[in-house]
Amino acid sequence: MNLLSASSRSSFPPRRALAAACAGVAAMACSSLAFADSGIGVDLWRGNKLDPTAGTRSETPDENGTTWLKPGQNRSPTGNLYLGPFTPPQPEQYGDWRGYGTLEVGVLMVPTGDQRNALWNRYADWKEGPILGLLDYTLERASDGTYANFRGSRISDDDEYYQATFGRAGAFKVQAFVRDMPNIVSGNAKPVWNGVGSNRLTLPSGLTPGGSTPAQIAAASAAAPERTLSVTREKQGLSYSMFLTPEWTAYANVTDEQRRGARPYGGSFFFPGLGGSMETVKPIDDSTINVNGGFRYAGAAWRMDFSYSGSFYRDANTRYTFESPFVMASPVPGALSAPVYQGQMSTEPDNDYHNLQATLTRKLPSLNGEVSLSAAAGRMQQDDTLIAPIDCRGVFGVGFGDLQLGPQNPLLGDCSQWNTPAALSRRSAKMRIDTSMVDARMVLNPTSQWTLRGNVKYDRQDYRTGDYLLYNPLTGQYGYIAENGSQPSIIPGEGFPVGRFTEVGNMRIRNIPLDIQTVDANLGADWKFDDKNTLGVTFGYNRYEPTHRERSEINDSSVKLTWINRSLDALTLRVNYTYLKQSGDRYDYDPYEEFVSASLPGYTPPAGGTPVITTSAMRKYDMSSFDQNKLDVMATLALRDDMTVSASARLDRKSYDARIGRQDYDTGSATLQWEWQPAATTNLSAFLGYDRSRLKMSNVNDALENGAGTDPSLGGPTYPYDAQWWLRDKQRNYYAGALFDHRIGRVRVDAGWNYTYSRGTDSYRYAGPDALAYPTTVPPGPGSGAFSPMVYRVNSFNLGVTIPIVERVSLRVFDYYERGRVDDWHYLGFDQSRYIGGMLYTDGGPQSYSNNVVGMLVNVKL
């Protein structure tokens, strides 16, 4: 049994991972398993677009309603109408057991439309043909509460799920599932390479690696057939949970997921016209085992929770290589470019993860509260074999006069000294992060009116054994070869490793550990000052201490006010307001000095000094100081006994203290929902929604052509004021929808409409043409402008009719129409060509579409 069939290169053999997983399951489940529950793990829901409810769509509302004693529905404590129940099943008796269920089979017809469109079928692989809408069958044994259930649905090979559950209520539950989930990442990809989906992309016959003319590249791109790129997730899992005693429960879950497919990805070969950049295709071929298990205790005074989570990721590939068609051509007079033509892209390393967590809670009966202590320790690690710094033959870099290695060509590198693991300071990654967490919290209700609560959480991640030096023992050089050798082959000396006691150039020589420590504390009180009103206040404090970042300490202080009002029988109102202020210690715009070659002994700065990496006015938004105001209002109102209106409004304003960087980020939303249940078999609802965001940022162009500016200050010679620019990104979304479900006689008619309209605009202004990437096209002086709007508009309609044929058998006929329109300036012109301005693209970007699906489903109540 080899769950991780593909990972041949793994340093941690998959069989062992599986064995560990199984041992974990066995340990947790000494003798005899609920799936991931709301407390741990994923996989809580398996449905599909045809029925996101995974089985209740085909149920019939009971025309008799909920109770004979009064009309209509009760309301939940918040005030929403409860649903009317479905018609109870008519079970068949098999001895001790009773069985009931639903079988729904039929066909989908997709007569017209853009079926391959990636916006349309991204997570729903609707194809023309027969489908299993639903098979759901339950067996129950009333005498002891034992039950078994099978549920499955198959839309197509990549869009299906099946699960089987067996258990005894209050005793144990075992569940197994298999699920395939589609993810169409591009419906209109035109990769030029052979070997898409594999770890080796080679150019077709019309193209020469490192030596194709633009015309040849354009022709090959135009000739490449359009294809779909997708990544399918295939997952299977087994879970178990049981009561050991009325107080003790145990659970264990194990899942195994394979991802297969290919997706568009980058491919760096320096700048167009000099080398070229391309969008390659990354193979996806990996597998993940997730395991968790634990014991839980809930007694009269104490509660305990002990859990283990593990994850084991295995990638079949360590890297993939791709051939570049572009000719290397240095613009520097006299410089000859080495003919590098092949790039490599590392894939994600295999990783292992373990986490142990324990929680201990003690009730405090005299104060009507509880105190709880949690601790967790985790480890994520990988020790993947490292790939060589470059995959080239011969030489890389530039030569002057010729491309012969030797002292006359100091900026020419010998591939054989770099295309081998022997060129590495260490053969494997040896990366590890240990995490730890301690949380203590207390809630007290000293009187029925007062709740006092407080918690402190301490969390840290420590990088262990990870220091990696970019040093080639074969050549004694530090640094790395940038962009697959293309950069040093075009710009002499750039992205070229530096000598032992160099000289010039400043490049990374070490990786950066990112240890983090966080302390989060909250203290609050809630006061029920009468039956109808609760007021709450919470003071929060957060100290975030990153390592090797612009700040070593960031502090958040917040106050949150809560008001809950139920003074009207028909209304529930919840209002929350938060003010948060973030600040920190001194902002160091360049905390990376020790990780670059400037820190090497003997480093000689260039004549003008070492170039700065950024402006001192930059405040990265995760490190920045800001003020935040958040308001959140929710109301649920019963308009009549059978009608509800809910509304919400939310505002979140963040104002950053940054001259360069993010300056403001405001979001807001408003919703209005209306629901009407005039009869047990009639439901109508509608909603309107609006949300928006506004992001303001500023940046500044560097003025010096050679990028060698040494003054970090805004307004200085490197970053002059007249090169500053400002951008405002505004996103507005409008949503609306309606649902209708009604019985006309014995026939059920359901209809729905869903509408989304998004509009994003990016407008800018600049202090002068120097701010621009292409300054020569505008007149001197400040200016402004805007990108064309990014638009996404989707309208979908469905209409279904369910007609009873004979007892227990009905026919559902439905039509689903969806139309989407998208405008995205990132992909302008891609419909004409994928070879634009010396760059070769694969994905054509999102496309507008319309599709109509007709389905006929026969529903049999088993």
Partner 1 sequence: MNRPTSLLLGALLLAGGCASAHAASYIDQRRVDAVQGDVAAGAAKATVCVACHGPNGNAIVPAFPRLAGQRAEYLAGELHKFKRGTRPESPMTALAMPLTDEDIRNLAVYFAAQTHTPSTLPPPDSQTLARGEALYRQGDPARGAPPCQGCHGADATGPEAGAEHYRAWPSLRGQNGDYLVQRLQNYRDGKLKDSSNDFVMHGVAQTLDEPSMRALASYLSSLPPASR
Partner 2 sequence: MQNRLLQNRLVRAVVVCGFWLLFGAAAQAQQTREELSRNLPASGLSNEEVQSTGRTLLAAPGFAKAKVAVNPAFPDATPVGERTCTACHQLEADHFTHTLHALGLHAANKADASIPVCETCHGPGSQHAQAPLTKGSIIAYTKNGGTPIDVQTQTCLTCHEGGPRDHWLGSIHQRNGLSCSDCHNPMAKFSVEGSLAKSSINDTCAQCHQDVRMQFNRRSHMPLPEGQMSCADCHNPHGSLTAPLLKTNTVNETCYQCHAEKRGPFLFEHPPVRESCLNCHSPHGSNQNTLLVAPIPFLCQQCHTAQRHPDNLHTMQSTGTGSNPDFRVMGRGCLTCHANIHGSNAPSGPKFHE
Site for partner 2 in 418-477 (CB under 8 A): 423-424, 429, 431-433, 435, 437, 439, 441, 443, 451, 453, 455, 457, 459, 463, 466, 468, 470
Pairing relationship of beta strands 839-840 and 277-278 according to DSSP bridges? parallel
Bridge partners for 673 per DSSP: 646, 687
Q: Is residue 564 within the footprint of partner 2 (CB under 8 A)?
A: yes
Instruction: Return the closest-CA partner of residue 762 out of 731, 783, 793, 734.
Output: 731
Query: CA-CA distance, 107 to 814, in Å (whole number)?
Result: 11
Report CA torsion sign: 4, 9, 13, 17. Answer: negative
744 makes contact, choosing from partner 2, partner 1, none, with CB < 5 to 8 Å by partner type, with partner 1
- Helix or strand (DSSP H, E) at 147: strand 146-156
Rule CB under 8 A: say whether 23 interacts with partner 2: no
The DSSP element (H or E) to which 798 belongs, if any, is strand 790-806
Nearer of residues 156 and 802 to partner 1, judged by Cβ: 802
Specify the residue, 218 or 801, whose C-beta has the smaller distance to partner 1: 801
Return the one option of partner 2, partner 1, none that residue 846 interacts with (CB less than 5 to 8 A, by type). partner 2
Q: Which of the choices partner 2, partner 1, none does residue 415 contact, using the CB cut-off of 5 to 8 A by kind?
A: none
Instruction: For residue 383, state whether it binds partner 2 (rule: CB under 8 A).
Output: no
Distance CA 418, CA 396 (A): 10
Check binding of 715 to partner 2 (CB under 8 A).
Answer: no
Q: Which of 105, 109, 219, 635 binds partner 1 (CB under 8 A)?
A: 109
Q: Scanning residues 43 to 72, which ones bind partner 1 (CB under 8 A)?
A: 65, 68-71
Cα–Cα dist 535/449, whole Å: 10
User: Applying CB under 8 A, does 799 fall inside the site for partner 1?
Assistant: yes
Give the Cβ contact number of residue 430 at 10 Å: 16
Structure tokens at 846: 């999102």
Q: How far apart are CA 43 and CA 241, in angstroms?
A: 15
Of 205 and 776, which has the nearer Cβ to partner 2? 776
Cα–Cα distance measured from residue 232 to residue 224, given in angstroms and rounded to the nearest whole number: 23
- Which x/- pattern, by CB under 8 A, does the window 646-675 give for partner 2? x-x-x---------xxx------xxx-x--
Q: Which does 111 bind (CB under 5 to 8 A by kind): partner 2, partner 1, none?
A: partner 1
582: contact with partner 2 by CB under 8 A = no
* Residue choice 578, 758, 848, 852 for contact with partner 2 (CB under 8 A): 758
Q: Which does 856 bind (CB under 5 to 8 A by kind): partner 1, partner 2, none?
A: partner 1
Count Cβ atoms below 10 Å from residue 170 Cβ, excluding itself.
11
Site for partner 2 contains 311 (CB under 8 A) = yes
Taking the complex as a whole, how short is the minimal distance between the CB of residue 82 and partner 1, in angstroms? 16
Instruction: Determine if 856 is a binding residue for partner 2 (CB under 8 A).
Output: no
How far apart are alpha carbons 126 and 106 in whole angstroms? 13
Q: Measured from the CB atom, is 375 or 400 closer to partner 2?
A: 375
The smaller minimum CB distance to partner 1, of residues 67 and 449, is found at 67
Residue choice 804, 838, 850, 860 for contact with partner 1 (CB under 8 A): 804
Site for partner 2 in 763-792 (CB under 8 A): 764, 766, 771-774, 777, 785, 787-788, 790, 792
Please, which residue, 400 or 758, has the CB nearer to partner 2? 758
Our finding on whether 821 is near partner 2 (CB under 8 A) is no
For position 801 contacting partner 1 by CB under 8 A, the verdict is: yes
Question: Which residue from 264, 310, 272, 307 is spatially nearest to 289, judged by alpha carbons?
Answer: 310
Site track 723-762 with partner 1 (rule: CB under 8 A), x = hit: ---------------------xxxx-x-------------
Q: Please, are residues 817 and 829 in contact by the beta-carbon 8 Å criterion?
A: no
Other CB atoms closer than 10 Å to residue 572's CB: what's the count? 22
**Looking only at residues 75 through 134 of this chain, which bind partner 2 when binding is defined by CB under 8 A?**
75-80, 82-83, 85-86, 88-89, 96, 100, 119, 122-124
**Would you count residue 530 as binding partner 2 (CB under 8 A)?**
no
Q: Which is nearer to partner 1, 680 or 790 (CB)?
A: 680
CB 103 within 8 Å of CB 827: no
Radius of gyration of the chain (CA): 31
Residue with Cβ nearer partner 1 (45 or 68):
68
Applying CB under 8 A, among 815, 833, 860, 862 the residue interacting with partner 1 is 815
Give me 310's structure tokens.
């593990």
Question: Distance between CA 550 and CA 226 in Å, rounded?
Answer: 45
Measured from the Cβ of residue 301, the count of other Cβ atoms closer than 10 Å reads 10
Q: What is the footprint of partner 2 within residues 39-78 (CB under 8 A)? A: 39-49, 51-57, 62, 64-69, 74-78
Out of 154, 190, 551, 566, the only residue in the binding site for partner 2 (CB under 8 A) is 566
Sign of CA dihedral 632, 636, 639, 644: positive
On the CB side of 237, CA atoms within 13 Å amount to 32
Map 316-360 to HEC letters.
CCCEEEEECCCCCCCCCCCEEECCCCEEEEECCCCEEEEEEEEEE
- Residue 51's identity, in one-letter code, is D
Residue 415 main-chain phi, psi, to 5 deg: -55, -40
| CA–CA distance, 200 with 204 (Å, rounded to integer) | 12
Q: What does 594 interact with, of partner 1, partner 2, none (CB < 5 to 8 A by kind)?
A: none
Count of residues of this chain found to bind partner 1 when the rule CB under 8 A is applied: 22
Distance in angstroms (rounded) separating the CA atoms of residues 740 and 270: 56
Q: Which of residues 167-206 bind partner 2 (CB under 8 A)?
A: 167-172, 174-176, 178, 181, 183
Please pick, from the candidates 852, 858, 860, 862, the single residue that binds partner 1 as defined by CB under 8 A: 852
| Strands annotated E in 225-316 | 227-243, 248-265, 277-278, 280-298, 302-315
Q: Which two tokens stand for residue 462?
A: 């420590």
Choice between 337 and 644, CB closer to partner 2:
644
Nearest to 238 by CA among 6, 24, 7, 2: 24
Closest CA to 481 of 418, 568, 566, 405: 418
Q: Least separation, in Å, of the C-beta of 403 and partner 2?
A: 21
Cβ closer to partner 1: 456 or 811? 811
Assess 806 for contact with partner 1 (CB under 8 A): no
Touching partner 2, residues 392-411 (CB under 8 A) = none
Residues near partner 1, by CB under 8 A: 65, 68-71, 109, 111, 744-747, 749, 799, 801, 803-804, 811, 813, 815, 852, 854, 856
